Structures are given as C-alpha cells and as structure tokens.
Amino acid sequence: MNTADQTNPLIERLEKFGPLSNQDLTLLHEIPTERRFIGPGSHLMREDDVICDCAIITSGFAVGLKKTIEGRRQIVSLLMPGEAYGLHSLFSNTADLTVQAVRPSIFVMIPDRALQNAMALSPAISRAAFANIAAESAISREWLVNIGRRDARGRIAHFLAEFLIRSERQGLTKGFSFELPLTQDQIGDILSLTPVHVNRTFGALQSDGLIKRDGRYFDILNWNGLLDAGGFTERYLSVS
Amino acid sequence: MNTADQTNPLIERLEKFGPLSNQDLTLLHEIPTERRFIGPGSHLMREDDVICDCAIITSGFAVGLKKTIEGRRQIVSLLMPGEAYGLHSLFSNTADLTVQAVRPSIFVMIPDRALQNAMALSPAISRAAFANIAAESAISREWLVNIGRRDARGRIAHFLAEFLIRSERQGLTKGFSFELPLTQDQIGDILSLTPVHVNRTFGALQSDGLIKRDGRYFDILNWNGLLDAGGFTERYLSVS
DNA sequence: CGTGTATTTGATTCCTCTCAAGTTTAGTGG
DNA sequence: CCACTAAACTTGAGAGGAATCAAATACACG
C-alpha cells in the first residue's frame, strides 16, 4: 500500500478531528488493512470476542448492541459509513459490544497494534483518535438523556433529528428526505420501545404533520417542530 | 511543585491505566494545578460553560448531569474520589455536562493545555488518558442497557452492584456494607425512575432479603442474588 | 406465487408516574 | 437542649403511557 492511494478510510476519519502532517499520513498509509464484507444480520464481532482490530465502516450501515443476560437487546451505537468502531477497545482484548450489519456493509479492519504504534509515534494521530472516542462518548450520554427523560414521541423525534444530521455530515443525505435503514423493531431497540409503539408513534408524528413516512423513507415536513418535539440541540454532535 | 510530592491525583489516576516512566512523572508533576472546594449542591461547571480545565475529584462525591430543554434532569456519570472528569472535553472548549457536588468535594483542576502538552510529549500519558475515557465510555453504554432494558428492580440492583464495586476499587469500602451518598431523588435521576418508585423498589429488594437498608446505609445480604436481579456482569468495569 | 418477515391495528394489562398527605431526619437559632 | 423548619423519606390511591397479546395486512424474496 502506498501513499498515492486516493482514499484511506482511516485517514479520512481521523482528519475529521484534526489536521495530519505528511509524516502522519505516511504512517497511516503503512498500516496494513483488510476489507471485510458483512451481510445484513451478520456480525462483524460479538460481545466478549477476543479481538485485535478496530474497524471503519466504509459503506452500508451497522449498529453496536449489547444484550442483557435475559436476552434483551439494546442498540448502543450507530455505525454510519465513514465512522469508526472499536477505538475504545484499542487497549483491551475483548469486544465490549456486538457489531451487526443492518445493510450489506464493508469494513476496513485496522490492527490494534498498528494503530497503537502510529498513535505512539504521532501526537496528532493520537489526538484525533482521542477526539473520536470523545465524540462517541458524547453521543452515548445524549442517548442516556433521550431514553431516560423523554417519552416515546420525544425519543423518536430526537432520534430522527440526530439521524438526519449525522447522515448529512457523512454526505449521505441532502435536505429533509432520507431513508432510515432500520426496521421498527431495531428502532425500538435503540430507543427502548416496543416495535408496536414505535409504529404508533410514527403515526402520531405523521398526523401532527411533523413527518411524512412511506415505508422506511421519511420526509421531515416541520424541522423546527421536530427539534422541538425531541428537545433536540445539535451541540452534542459538534466535534473537533 | 516538585517531584518529591507524595501524591499527585492526576498521576495516581493515569497510573491505573498503565505504567508511567520517570520522565512521564516529571512531566505530570510540572503541571500546575489548583484545588477547588465545592459544597453539596454546588456546581464545578455547568453545561455549555466555557472551560479549559479538566478535573480530578480527590475527595467527596459528585455527579455529571444533563438537562433536557423541558428541565428534566438525567445524571449521566458518577464521580468517585480519584476519578477524572473532563478528559472527553480536552479538545473542546465547552462543557458538555454539568458537574454537581453531592458531598463536600475537592477537585484538582488541570489546565487542558498542560495535559494536552504532556500527552503530545508522552505516548504513555496519552495512552492512559485514552484508556480513561474508554473506560468512562464503557460505563455509559452499560447504563444505556440498564435504563433501556431493565425494570426498576433490575436497574436498582445493577446500580447497587456497580456502586459497590467502584467504591471498592477506589478503596472506599470493604465488604458488603456501604453508604450511598445520594438522595432517592438523585438515584431516580440516575436510573430514570421517580423517587417514589425508587423508595418502593428498595423496599421490595429488602423484603426479598437481597439488601438491608438503614437510611443511606446499605448492607448487601445476598450478593449473588443482587447480581442476578440486576443481570450484572463486572466485565464492563474492567479497565486497563 | 408462496413463504417468512415487517408493518399495522385492536384490545387489554401492568409497571411506573402523578398527586397527595403524613412522617422522619437533619440543620438552625434561640 | 429544645423548638422550628426545610428537606428527604414513606405510604396510599389513582391515572396513564407503553407493554403485551393477538391477528390481519403488506411486503420482499426465491
């Protein structure tokens, strides 16, 4: 792999969090990576698996989830194209959550050792990786507020707002129309609601004129209304 | 400040996540710190405050919380003596949550710049700080599961188990008796329950013989039963 | 075109919230 | 050392949001 490669997902990701020097880029280009294709419903890794890679999803869509002993499932993170997974377990040897593809997805696997090494050699790389988990962390905390303190209507409104903004950031959407590539069951697992109630709440938001939905295709008809319903403020998504 | 100082909270904290060289220790010792006393109910910082310090709580007890626009409050993190706050906003200039003392507390303030500088100079320091937010992050995700997927009884059982283990880790408790320095109202803000229901659930756990409670003093009578009730597994607290 | 999955809608249950009132505890000043 | 006060805790009764149970419809895929 040489420096002339047009795109390197790891570099693209890290550059979102701060500038990298040519030397940094060289270091990162030298990291050997492996592509993995994961079909919908399949797992990139499971909780407690021994792992020694982190990953960047370059296309598709995936979620990070945890299960209780009783088998209840909670989705704790979204993985949108371009985003990284597993930086938080860079210094651990077991996965703390299951990564499941929702859409056919491509992951670029990055050996922990190699990234650790690059981080040790370059403060800028280290800093960018640091900022990346900090950003993830901020989202988890906001989800805690969303699940903990909002009713179904608020949760869904908040989630839709977050999803749209994150999609835009990754260059996946423009405007207020988008596809949400999740079943209502999965949305329930994100927001801690039953699929039945997710469905009814979509109905309520629609009849209130906030959204229009056709299957998994959404139109936000009243953005401010949606923000309001979800008590959404973009701040926690601001990164750098 | 010189290297002969017996204890340096920042060093103690970072050393939990990996060994530091003498050079690292010197770097960290050179960081100027300031102590701040915060009384119960008072704030070390508020959401959106412009800040340029992170902090280590050396004694007392505090919580990190966020508020919705409607004013509902969700506690998103605990700050036990020895633990750090604000590493995640090391590269941001505003606080993403409010830190409120629950007990009279002492914080050691560490200028962001100084720590950033130390991280840039020392991969080991950088790595330790990284591992620290990774550990926080793992706890947030577990809380998401706890609030999202367990009923009141399970949430409280899980919380008590986590609290006891974290207390032990910080050397605050031995055995199965401890004081929980939070009002039932605050516990409700952690677990997303009303104080009324927290109270009733304590009663239920007690009449089931899992715990004995006298005010804020708890005895765990049946540790395995508690772990079971909360579906608690220690793994997410494992750090390094 | 059949089969399994996802969505939709209805009826009912229940866990937790809300409202309300009383009790205990802790802190303060006389 | 005790009266006073505010905060925290406790207990009761009733309401409500979301879950559960159930069944029908729509949809995607081989």
CA dist A94 and A51 (Å) reads: 5
Q: How far is B139 from chain A (nearest CA, A)?
A: 10
- For strand C, is any atom closer than 7 Å to the CB of B196? yes
Q: How far is CA A219 from CA A113, A184, A226, B97, B235, in A?
A: 44, 16, 11, 32, 41
Tell me, what's the pLDDT at A4? Answer: 47
Contacts of B123 in chain A (CB under 8 A): 119-121, 126
Tell me, what's the pLDDT at B3? Answer: 44
**Nearest CB neighbour to A76, from listed B120, B123, B145:** B145
Contacts of A225 in chain B (CB under 8 A): none
Tell me, what's the pLDDT at B174? Answer: 83
Tell me, what's the pLDDT at B170? Answer: 87
CB B90 to CB A130 under 8 A? yes
The set of strand C positions with any atom below 7 Å of a protein CB reads: 6-11, 15-20, 25-26
- For strand C, is any atom closer than 7 Å to the CB of A203? yes
CA of B188 to C1' of C26 (A): 21
Tell me, what's the pLDDT at A119? Answer: 97
Within chain B, which residues score under 70 in pLDDT? Answer: 1-6, 239-240
Tell me, what's the pLDDT at A114? Answer: 97
CA of B211 to C1' of D8 (A): 21
Tell me, what's the pLDDT at A7? Answer: 86
Contacts of B140 in chain A (CB under 8 A): 137, 140-141, 144
CA of A94 to C1' of D20 (A): 36
Contacts of A145 in chain B (CB under 8 A): 66, 68, 74, 76
Tell me, what's the pLDDT at B7? Answer: 86
CA dist B54 and B33 (Å) reads: 10
Q: Whose CA is closest to A26, among A129, A122, A127? A: A122
Tell me, what's the pLDDT at B117? Answer: 96
CB B91 to CB A130 under 8 A? yes
Tell me, what's the pLDDT at A240? Answer: 57
Contacts of B119 in chain A (CB under 8 A): 123, 126-127, 130
The label of the residue with tokens 């906030």 reads A210
Tell me, what's the pLDDT at A218? Answer: 97
- For strand C, is any atom closer than 7 Å to the CB of A202? yes
Q: Which mean pLDDT values do the consecutive 10-residue runs of chain A (240 residues) have? A: 67 96 97 95 94 95 96 97 93 94 96 96 97 96 98 98 94 91 98 98 97 96 98 87
Q: How far is B64 from chain A (nearest CA, A)?
A: 10
- For strand D, is any atom closer than 7 Å to the CB of B178? no
CB A138 to CB B90 under 8 A? no
